[in-house]
Structure 1
Amino acid sequence: MNRTPSFVGAVLDFTPTAFLARLALVSAYLVGGIDKLGDWPAALAEQAHFGLTPPALWATLTIAVELTGSVLILSGRLVWLGAGMLGVFTFFAALVANAFWTMPEGPERFGAMNAFFEHMGLVGGFVLVAVLAHKGRRDA
Structure 2
Amino acid sequence: MSTHAQGNPPWIAALLAPRWLPLVARVALVSAYVIGGVAKLANFHAAVLEQEHFGLHPGWLWAALAIGVELGGSACVIFSRFVWLGAGALGALTAVAMFVANDFWNLTGDAHFFALNAFFEHLGLIAALVMATCLAGVKHSSGHAGGQ
Q: TM-score, normalised by structure 1?
A: 0.95
Cα gap change, 1:126/1:112 in structure 2, threshold over 3 Å: closer, same or farther? same
Q: Deviations over 1:78-107 (max 9, x none)?
A: 011111010111011110000101113x11
Q: Which residue of 1 aligns with 2:15?
A: 11
Pairwise CA RMSD:
1.2
Q: Match of 1:43, as an amino acid?
A: A
Q: Match of 1:137, as an amino acid?
A: H
The one of 102, 116, 120 aligned to 2:123: 120
The alpha carbon displacement at 1:117 in A equals: 0.1
Q: Does 1:64 find its partner at 2:51?
A: no
Q: Match of 2:88, as an amino acid?
A: G
Paired residues, what number?
138
The alpha carbon displacement at 1:71 in A equals: 0.2
Q: Match of 1:116, as an amino acid?
A: F
The alpha carbon displacement at 1:134 in A equals: 0.4
Structure 1: give runs of 5+ residues left out of the alignment: none
Q: Secondary structure at the match of 1:77?
A: coil
Moved over 6 A (4+): none
Q: Does 1:107 find its partner at 2:101?
A: no
Aligned partners of 2:7, 2:50: CA distance in 1, in Å?
A: 48
Q: Deviations over 1:40-68 (max 9, x none)?
A: 11111111110111100000000000000
Q: Does 1:34 find its partner at 2:30?
A: no
Structure 2: give runs of 5+ residues left out of the alignment: 1-5, 144-148
Q: Does 1:24 find its partner at 2:37?
A: no
Q: Does 1:139 find its partner at 2:142?
A: yes
Report the structure, 1 or 2, having the larger helix content.
1
Between the aligned residues of both structures, percent identity stands at: 46
The alpha carbon displacement at 1:7 in A equals: 2.7
Aligned partners of 2:25, 2:132: CA distance in 1, in Å?
A: 10
